[in-house]
């Protein structure tokens, strides 16, 4: 009898343990993140604070290098498993939605009285909408600014970028900032490095990729405005020689490396470079203090409206707790940790976060990132965005390397762009 009772108690303990584990597993939120090693410490700090305030929820944070992140998600989902929260880029959202891999978040927003969509910049929310459904809660905005080496400007006798400067003002400054001391044809210092920001210049001249970024019906790439922008960038490299060619730039390192070593006086980058640029000790730098656009304009002021967001995969089995985590990370407490490190331009526009962002330094002109949100353009919202980007890089090389007539390349690109929306 005692033996039977002992066995019964043992079975009950095992069953209780199984139930406890099942409950624990049900409460655990699997958060898959990508980024730099420096960023993972910030995410862990934010997650730890969330768990401290939500003791009934456990978060398992897993970090994957950027180069492996997207394939990791796709592999997991293809295998029928999924994280509960993923860190998604708004430009990649349509491709996941096409595969029915994301959970619309509208029902969570509507029933959660403690969450207010109006706390975010409308542009940031718009970037997370697809067919009028919300598939992500914004974390940041990928706003660009013109970073400049103040020491090189002073040495060349060039005034700091003025308010409302245009392409010709920019070119004049770039010429004076390009220094080839030994006259060997390879400047020791370039005025500018183009990088991969050609779309900004296209928008600044009134050009675009499609007739409507949200609901494209046809490509409009082959236009006078786009051609002028591409020719201007080509001339910066080959005619005026104030920017390295792409071949030259690849031997000098990344745009950021060229800037940090004083090899280039101006670059266009996002706020995510601030933590890295804080390490610069050899010169003083800032972002150009112009009005709204922050970048030299031609016909109109323009910037880039995309960014990262938190999304819940459709296969998640713990969506309620996943929403709790997203709400926390995108709110004041989570964003305070992330913004204080300087990695991003906030999508949250509460007084607390705005004040924190404006007071953080460097750069001194931090407010310019927020000003530029008003002129930010949506990139094309299409499922095959990444394939489209690859095509553009490949085809535009024919222009940068002067291998094909520009009219021929532009017609080819417009034809390919139309294929992506057929």
Measure the CA–CA gap between 3 and 359, rounded to whole angstroms.
71
Confidence of residue 294 (pLDDT cuts 50, 70, 90): low
Report if residue 312 sits inside a domain: yes
Q: What is the pLDDT of residue 315?
A: 95
* 245 plus 394 within the same structural domain: yes
Mean pLDDT check: name the lowest of 12-16, 158-162, 274-278: 12-16
Q: Is residue 248 part of a domain?
A: yes
pLDDT score for 250: 85
Checking if the pLDDT of 124 tops 90, the result is yes
Longest dimension (CA), the chain: 100
pLDDT over 50 at 366, yes or no: yes
CA-CA distance, 352 to 335, in Å (whole number)? 10
Q: Is the pLDDT of residue 10 over 80?
A: no
pLDDT value of residue 411: 98
If asked whether residues 204 and 103 sit together in one domain, one would say: no
Is 21 contained in some domain? Answer: no
Domain span holding position 335: 26-140+306-349
**Statement: residue 12 has pLDDT above 60:** no
41 and 60 share a domain? yes
Using the predicted structure, report yes or no on whether residue 339 has a pLDDT greater than 70. Answer: yes
Dihedral class, residue 164 (left if φ above 0, else alpha if ψ from -120 to 50, else beta): left
At 6, the pLDDT band (50, 70, 90 cuts) reads very low
Q: How many residues does the chain have?
A: 422
111 lies in a domain? Answer: yes
d(CA 257, CA 252): 8
Average pLDDT of the residues of the chain:
90
Q: What is the CA radius of gyration of the chain?
A: 25
Asked if residue 339 belongs to a domain, the reply is yes
Residues 128 and 231 in one domain: no
Q: Is the pLDDT of residue 121 over 70?
A: yes
Tokens read off for 253: 């390192």
Does one domain contain both 53 and 123?
Answer: yes
**Residue 166 or 413, more confident:** 413
204 & 328 share domain = no
What distance in Å separates the CA atoms of residue 172 and residue 32, rounded to the nearest whole number? 47
131 plus 170 within the same structural domain: no
CA distance 149 to 160: 9
On whether both 243 and 149 belong to a single domain, the answer is yes
pLDDT of residue 97: 94
Rounded to the nearest 10 degrees, the angle between the axes of helix 332-340 and helix 319-330 is 50
Range in 8-22, 153-167, 263-277 with the lowest mean pLDDT: 8-22
pLDDT tier, 199 (very low <50, low <70, confident <90, very high otherwise): very high
Q: Is the pLDDT of residue 23 over 70?
A: no
Q: In what order do the strands lie in the sheet with 85-89?
A: 59-64, 29-34, 85-89, 308-311, 137-138
Please give the tally of structural domains in the chain.
Answer: 2
How does pLDDT run across 207-265, given as a tens digit for each residue?
999 999 999 999 999 999 999 999 999 999 999 999 999 888 888 889 999 999 999 99
Alpha helices in 54-121 (DSSP H): 66-78, 93-98, 106-111
In a domain, 406, yes or no: yes
Same domain for 252 and 155? yes
Whether residue 357 is contained in a domain is answered as no
pLDDT of residue 26: 53
CATH number at residue 257: 3.40.190.10
Give the pLDDT score at 15: 36
Flag whether 170 is in a domain: yes
| Lookup: tokens for 409 | 């390349």
**Cut 0.75: pTM above it:** yes
Q: Could you tell me if 408 and 259 lie in one domain? A: yes
Alpha helices (runs of H) in 253-362, residue ranges in sequence order: 255-260, 274-277, 319-330, 332-340, 351-359
Report angle CA 322, 328, 331 to the nearest 5 degrees. 135
Omega within 30 of 0 (cis) for the link into 362: yes
Q: What's the token pair of residue 230? A: 């591409």
What's residue 173's pLDDT?
96
User: Any residues with CB less than 8 A from the CB of 298 and at least 6 apart, and which?
Assistant: 166, 167, 201, 204, 205, 206, 228, 229, 232
Quick one: 185 and 298 in the same domain? Answer: yes
Kindly give the pairing relationship between strand 303-304 and strand 144-149: unpaired
Residues 342, 202: one domain? no
């Amino acid at each position: 009898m005692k033996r039977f009772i002992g066995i019964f108690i043992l079975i009950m303990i095992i069953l209780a343990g199984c139930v406890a584990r099942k409950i624990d597993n049900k409460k655990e939120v699997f958060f898959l993140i990508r980024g730099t090693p420096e960023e993972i410490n910030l995410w862990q700090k934010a997650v730890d604070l969330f768990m401290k305030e939500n003791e009934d929820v456990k978060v398992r944070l897993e970090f994957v290098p950027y180069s492996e992140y997207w394939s990791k998600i796709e592999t997991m989902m293809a295998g029928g498993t999924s994280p509960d929260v993923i860190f998604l880029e708004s430009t990649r959202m349509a491709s996941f939605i096409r595969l029915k891999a994301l959970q619309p978040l509208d029902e969570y927003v509507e029933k959660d009285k403690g969450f207010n969509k109006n706390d975010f910049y409308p542009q940031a929310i718009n970037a997370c909408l697809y067919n009028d459904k919300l598939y992500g809660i914004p974390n940041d905005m990928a706003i660009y600014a013109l970073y400049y080496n103040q020491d090189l400007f002073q040495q060349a006798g060039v005034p700091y970028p003025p308010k409302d400067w245009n392409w010709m003002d920019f070119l004049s400054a770039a010429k004076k900032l390009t220094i080839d001391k030994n006259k060997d044809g390879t400047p020791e210092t370039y005025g500018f490095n183009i990088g991969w920001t050609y779309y900004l210049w296209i928008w600044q001249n009134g050009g675009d990729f499609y007739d409507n970024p949200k609901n494209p019906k046809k490509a409009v790439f082959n236009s006078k405005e786009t051609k002028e922008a591409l020719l201007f960038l080509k001339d910066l490299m080959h005619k005026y020689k104030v920017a390295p060619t792409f071949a030259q730039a690849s031997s000098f390192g990344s745009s950021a490396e060229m800037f940090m070593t004083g090899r280039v006086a101006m670059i266009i980058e996002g706020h995510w470079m601030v933590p890295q640029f804080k390490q610069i000790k050899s010169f003083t730098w800032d972002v150009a203090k112009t009005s709204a656009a922050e970048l030299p304009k031609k016909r109109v002021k323009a910037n880039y409206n995309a960014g990262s967001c938190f999304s819940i995969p459709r296969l998640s089995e713990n969506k309620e707790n996943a929403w709790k985590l997203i709400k926390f990370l995108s709110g004041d407490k989570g964003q305070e940790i992330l913004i204080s490190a300087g990695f991003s331009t906030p999508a949250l526009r509460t007084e607390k976060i705005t004040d924190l962002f404006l007071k953080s330094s460097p750069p001194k002109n931090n407010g310019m990132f927020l000003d530029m949100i008003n002129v930010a353009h949506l990139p094309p919202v299409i499922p095959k965005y990444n394939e489209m980007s690859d095509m553009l890089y490949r085809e535009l090389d024919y222009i940068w390397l002067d291998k094909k007539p520009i009219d021929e390349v532009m017609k080819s690109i417009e034809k390919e762009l139309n294929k992506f929306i057929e």
